[in-house]
Amino acid sequence: MSAVDSVAWQALAAHARAPQPHLRERFAADPQRFQHFSATWNDWLLDYSKQRVAAATMPLLFALWQAADVRGWSERMRGAEAINHTEGRAALHIALRYGKGAFLHNGRDVMPGVRAVLDKMERFVDAIHGCHWRGATGEPISDVVNIGIGGSDLGPRMATQALAAYRHPGVRVHYVANLDGADLATVLEELQPRTTLFVVASKTFTTQETMQNAYSARAWLTRELGEAAVSRHFVAVSTNLTEVARFGIGAENVFEFWDWVGGRFSLWSAIGLPLALAVGFPHFRELLAGAHAMDEHFFAAPPAENLPGLLALIEVWNTNFLGAGTRALLPYSQSLSLLPRYLQQLEMESNGKLVDRAGKPLACAVAPVLWGEAGTNGQHAFYQLLHQGGRLVPCDFIAMREPDFALPGHHEKLLANCFAQGEALMRGKTQAEVRAEMLANHIPESVVACLAPYKVFPGNQPSTTLLLPRLDPHNLGALIALYEHKVFVESCIWNINPFDQWGVEYGKQLASRLLPIMEGKAPADGLDSSTSGLIAYCKK
């Protein structure tokens, strides 16, 4: 029986139908609300007291966790069962950061292979940083371009930006993903073939965008340096060694990973190579250690203390019982400004599904639309809607107690803004408060009467604040793993497979059908009038 059919689910539905006090009333009624609805892990703090939860809500959500058999599914993951059943694969990203001991998959220990690739990555990173690996003309490598898309781009790109304070001075790392030639062209404009290294990162090594960009990059390089230069300027990260060889990259320049690593869970594998080149290998190992620490927390802590579990349960409460269709991710950290994009893939590609594990239509809403922006920038863009747009938009604030770039005067203001937004969204401002405030400022009654309605804030907008001590490799690893496990817990509750992504296939299939038509090599037969009209207009 799935959690959606459980007694806990029914009880939560009844609980949600009962009158729900405004968040400001909840705070007024319980001066200890922060203590009652917050959790810590090491020196992290998760404050969910500004969520629309009551004392009775959390035990019901914990019962839902039990009904979803989160522990059973976690054990299946750890036991390397093929929980990605539609692709017949295990989901073993946790093994990539396991560090010590053996990790069995089909009776074989995967750890020697994992460690061998990590060691090969380390040697390579050290060779580039130490200028032992040089380009075809003997010059050291100054720029690395990662060519990949989706899971082969978003993770290392986000983490490279997040760890800007840890950058190795000798090498600049760039990322190219888009099929639009503007992406590659604008990056190459700044670079010299003699000093550029390309990392072609693709699990399948067949992804259209990546292969097009890789071949264009290769043409750019060989135009100046000749074919023989490819082996000094291209390395690959892939599970598909045959296709890598066909591209012309020798086995010695391939960093392997395995089909039990999903694309959006692959940062911990050799897909992390450009990040390791950007920040150095000791920092990459720290990232893995941080993720492993979060794994241990997730697998051991009861739901009331389990940070990924709490985030997941709150999202289920907001989505399935309060009717939220979206969630805003608001890191008050410029370095984490790519986190919303990264989590869009992690959360929406994983849990944006139509059917359950048995292939039956889902009876409940799943993954809300995730979006967001770094604070304070978002405040000057879309926060107006959060405050007065009349929509329920649960918000996740993320902030660091210490800055990663300590310019005097910045960080306190940043934190003050972060906490003020959570407070404003929770509390709101009534018409009576608006009037009193305006009159106290000696504004004439006629103006007060006219403007007061525009200055009312309904409040009651739920938010969670996650406070980390600082943004370092260890905490970043743990933060990413936190969201991976959150997604996993939700998938247990919604009874879906979070590790496949069939929904991205149809568009790819149709694009390959349209390409020969666009190129004039096939007739535009059988197309709808819009698609054929668009193609005809382009060819005019």
Q: Which residues are catalytic?
A: 349, 380, 508
Minimum distance between the CB of residue 203 and ligand F6P, rounded to whole angstroms? 4
x-marked contacts with ligand F6P along 347-376 as a string, rule CB under 6 A? --x---------------------------
* Cα dihedral 377/380/386/387 (nearest 10): 130
CB of 465 to ligand F6P, least distance (A): 30
Scanning 280-317, the segments in alpha helix (DSSP H) are 281-300, 307-316
Q: Is 207 in the site for ligand F6P (CB under 6 A)?
A: yes
Q: Among 210, 337, 421, 460, which residue interacts with ligand F6P (rule: CB under 6 A)? A: 210
Out of 67, 149, 314, 426, the residue judged to bind ligand F6P by CB under 6 A: 149
Residue pair 192/162 in contact by the 8 Å Cβ criterion:
no
Based on the shown chain and the rule CB under 6 A, indicate whether residue 152 belongs to the binding site for ligand F6P: yes
Nearest partner of 319 among 353, 370, 367, judged by Cα: 367
Q: How far is the CB of 208 from ligand F6P (least distance, A)?
A: 9
8/453 Cα distance (integer angstroms):
41
Write the DSSP string, 385-406. Answer: HHHHS-----EEEEEESS-SS-
Which positions from 306 through 335 interact with ligand F6P, judged by CB under 6 A?
none
- Per CB under 6 A, 155 contacts ligand F6P: no
Task: Using CB under 6 A, pick the residue from 28, 29, 436, 504 that binds ligand F6P.
Answer: 504
Q: Which of 203, 218, 353, 435 binds ligand F6P (CB under 6 A)?
A: 203
Phi, psi of 238 (to 5 degrees): -165, 165
Q: How far is the CB of 202 from ligand F6P (least distance, A)?
A: 3
Count residues near ligand F6P (CB under 6 A): 14
The residue with tokens 């496949």 is 500
Cβ 349 to ligand F6P, closest distance in Å? 6
**From CA 484, how far away is CA 412, in angstroms rounded?**
30
Interior/surface letters 178-197, b for 16+ CB within 10 angstroms, e for the rest:
ebeeebbeebbeebebbbbb
CB of 272 to ligand F6P, least distance (A): 13
HEC string for 138-185? CCECCEEEEECCHHHCHHHHHHHHHCHHHCCCCCEEEEECCCCHHHHH
- Of 430-449, binders to ligand F6P (CB under 6 A) are none
Instruction: Give CA–CA dist 387/426, Å, rounded.
Output: 10
Nearer to ligand F6P, 64 or 244 (CB): 244
Residue among 150, 193, 274, 280 that touches ligand F6P (CB under 6 A): 150
Nearer to ligand F6P, 202 or 464 (CB): 202
Question: What is the Cα–Cα distance from 139 to 131, expressed in whole angstroms?
Answer: 8
| C-beta closer to ligand F6P: residue 243 or 423 | 243
Q: Is 372 helix (H, G, I), strand (E, B) or coil?
A: strand
When binding is defined by CB under 6 A, the residue of 50, 232, 264, 285 that contacts ligand F6P is 264
- Member of 156, 193, 263, 462 binding ligand F6P (CB under 6 A): 263
Closest CB to ligand F6P among 150 and 473?
Answer: 150
Residues 431, 459: Cα–Cα separation, whole Å: 12
Q: In what order do the strands lie in the sheet with 326-331?
A: 38-41, 44-47, 463-468, 395-400, 326-331, 369-372
Provide the residue type at 175 as one letter. Answer: Y
Smallest gap from Cβ 239 to ligand F6P, in A, equals 8
Is 151 among the residues that bind ligand F6P (CB under 6 A)? yes
Q: Is 204 in the site for ligand F6P (CB under 6 A)?
A: yes
Q: Is 202 in the site for ligand F6P (CB under 6 A)?
A: yes
One-letter amino acid identity for 422? G
If one counts every other C-beta atom within 10 angstroms of the C-beta of residue 5, the result is: 12
Q: Which residues, 6+ apart, have CB-to-CB distance to 39 below 8 Å? A: 45, 46, 48, 304, 305, 306, 307, 310
Q: Mask 3-32, x = binds ligand F6P (CB under 6 A)? A: ------------------------------
Q: Which stretch binds ligand F6P (CB under 6 A): 68-76, 118-126, 150-158, 243-251?
A: 150-158
Please identify, using beta-carbon distances, which residue of 44 and 260 lies nearer to ligand F6P: 260
Pairing of strands 143-147, 196-201: parallel
Q: Which is nearer to ligand F6P, 267 or 393 (CB)?
A: 267
Pick the closer one to ligand F6P by CB: 19 or 507: 507
> Phi then psi for 375, rounded to 5 degrees?
-85, 145
Task: Closer to ligand F6P by CB, 151 or 428: give it.
Answer: 151
For ligand F6P, which stretch binds (CB under 6 A), given 44-52, 145-153, 244-252, 431-439? 145-153
Q: To the nearest whole angstrom, how small is the minimum distance from the Cβ of residue 257 to ligand F6P? A: 10
Contacts for 109 with CB less than 8 Å, ≥ 6 apart: 102, 103
Query: Which residue, among 540, 62, 479, has the nearest Cα to 308 in the 3D structure?
Result: 479
Interface residue list for ligand F6P (CB under 6 A):
149-152, 202-204, 207, 210, 263-264, 349, 501, 504
